[in-house]
Amino acid sequence: MCTMIVENVTIDGSGKGSKGWFNLKKANVSFDHPFNAQFDHSLNIDFVNDDLGIEHRVAVELSRDSAQKLIEAISTALARGDEQLGST
């Protein structure tokens, strides 16, 4: 069912959508039905910029395990980056 679980976070960066690169302002992180991935529920991240319109969206839909691995990979990559370059 629709869990309506969503977390919103302000972000800064770029994403490549169907119309090319655009500035990202927000990530909507939900655990709910995916639109495409073949799971009942998934960890979904929509990287968006509401100022540019509804079609400016970079979407991923991940299994729970995949999402957990991604968290670990991001943490590891950030830690390695900090080690080499210092926190930026």
Partner 1 sequence: MWNDWQTDSYEGQTSELVKIKGYQDDEINAYVARPNGTGPYPGVVLLHHMPGWDEFCRETARRFADHGYIVICPNLYERFGHGTPVDVAAKARGEGGVSDESVVADAKASLDYLKGLSNCTGKVAVLGHCSGGRHSYLAACRVTGFSAIIDYWGGNVIMPSDRITEKQPVSPIEYTKDLSCPILGIFGNDDQNPPPDQVDQHEEELKKHGKSYEFHRYEGAGHGFWYYDRPAYRQEQTMDSWGKTFEFLSKHLS
Residues at the site binding partner 1, with contacts judged by CB under 8 A: 1-4, 6, 8, 26, 28, 30, 32-33, 35-36, 38, 40-41, 44, 46, 48, 53-55, 57, 59
**Nearest distance in Å: CB 2, partner 1:** 4
**Nearest distance in Å: CB 54, partner 1:** 4
d(CA 63, CA 44): 9
Specify the residue, 38 or 84, whose C-beta has the smaller distance to partner 1: 38
Distances from the Cα of 80 to the Cαs of 67, 83, 87, in angstroms?
20, 5, 10
Specify the residue, 53 or 81, whose C-beta has the smaller distance to partner 1: 53
Phi first, then psi: what are they for 27, rounded to 5°?
A: -120, 125
Q: Would you call 21 exposed, middle or buried from its count of C-beta atoms within 10 A (0-12, 13-18, 19+)?
A: exposed
Specify the residue, 7 or 72, whose C-beta has the smaller distance to partner 1: 7
